[in-house]
Amino acid sequence: MPKSFKLIEDKFSEVDNERQWTYELKIAFNYYPIKKATITDHYLINHGDVINNQLIMELLEEMDGEILEPTKYKGKRKVFKWETDYNNERYRLIFWFEDNSSDWLWIKDCYPC
């Protein structure tokens, strides 16, 4: 079965000093249709040996339809934490909505719990 995501941009951000991969996908989160997700390379610092972009995108597909309250705020930004069991492992995603957008998620981190 084909995945419902595809890579649409791979770049290094000089402003954020990080690599960013943006994917097109089709899921719902907090009743919003999500069309894009950007993964930053932050997870590679400590979890690159057990996590990769494909796994993160598959976890987002598993999150389809979830409704979560934000766990904290970073400035005005609402930050979400989601945990799930996937392929007999427990994972945690840390993410937020792209500024001024309700259809684009930014994933800062993903790691095994």
pLDDT score of 72: 75
pLDDT score of 113: 81
What band does 1 get if pLDDT is binned at 50, 70 and 90? very low
CB-based contact 34:66 (threshold 8 Å): no
Considering the entire predicted model, what is its pTM? 0.89
Which tens digit of pLDDT belongs to each residue from 86-95?
A: 999 999 999 9
Which tens digit of pLDDT belongs to each residue from 27-52?
A: 999 999 999 999 999 888 877 788 89
Which tens digit of pLDDT belongs to each residue from 70-104?
A: 997 777 789 999 999 999 999 999 999 998 799 99
What band does 2 get if pLDDT is binned at 50, 70 and 90? low
Which tens digit of pLDDT belongs to each residue from 15-27?
A: 989 999 999 999 9
Give exposure, 7-19, as e/b (b: 16+ Cβ within 10 Å): eeeeeeeeeeeee
Instruction: Indicate the burial class of 84 (C-beta count within 10 angstroms; 0-12, 13-18, 19 or more).
Output: middle
